[in-house]
């Protein structure tokens, strides 16, 4: 499972020019689910997202998590994070999970973040979305659950 986590002052998702979700200060999480992912991968990403200390404390150091600042999380499914570009010019997505599995893991991640006390907004699974964000910093972290194996 891969996640691109960006610290934002605001982020939103629109479909056909209609906004479907929005957050203020917090994290925008683009999530890709791999075919071989298991529940432990969801646990790893959920733990990292809620506990990453990438918000400034009173001394300006990145020492606070999204929980600490009472921030929100916007999670957007993005299978293209699993692109394999090693050969040719057209990416291969054979490593991405089938839609049924990806949706279940995406929803499980959102549920875990909510259970931790975070307000969670989402994109629309498998929709053609326009994602807007105002990056703060910018601070962007790439998480890969395979690194924990």
What would the pLDDT profile of 87-131 be if each residue is shown by its tens digit? 999 999 999 999 999 999 999 999 999 999 999 999 999 999 999
Residue spans of the domains in the chain: they are: 2-143
**Residue environment code for 37-69, b if the CB has 16+ CB neighbours within 10 A, otherwise e:** beeebbbbbbebbbebebbbeeeeeeebbbbee
The CA angle 124-149-81, to the nearest 5 degrees, is 30
Q: Which residues are tagged catalytic?
A: 78-80
Q: Which CATH architecture has domain 2-143?
A: 3-Layer(bba) Sandwich (3.50)
d(CA 18, CA 36): 35
Kindly report, residue by residue over 47-99, the tens digit of the pLDDT: 999 999 999 999 999 999 999 999 999 999 999 999 999 999 999 999 999 99
131 burial type by CB count under 10 A (0-12 exposed, 13-18 middle, 19+ buried): middle
pTM exceeds cut of 0.85: yes
């Amino acid at each position: 499972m891969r996640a691109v986590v960006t610290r934002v002052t605001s982020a939103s998702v629109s479909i056909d020019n209609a906004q479907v979700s929005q957050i203020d200060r917090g994290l925008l999480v683009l999530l890709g689910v791999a075919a071989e992912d298991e529940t432990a991968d969801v646990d790893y990403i959920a733990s990292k997202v809620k506990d990453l200390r990438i918000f400034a404390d009173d001394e300006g150091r990145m020492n606070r998590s999204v929980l600490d600042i009472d921030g929100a999380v916007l999670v957007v499914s993005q299978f293209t994070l699993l692109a394999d570009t090693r050969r040719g010019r057209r990416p291969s997505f054979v490593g991405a999970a089938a839609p049924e599995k990806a949706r279940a893991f995406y929803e499980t991640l959102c549920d875990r973040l909510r259970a931790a006390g975070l307000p969670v907004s989402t994109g629309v699974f498998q929709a053609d979305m326009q994602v807007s964000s105002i990056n703060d910093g910018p601070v962007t972290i790439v998480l890969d659950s395979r690194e924990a194996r």
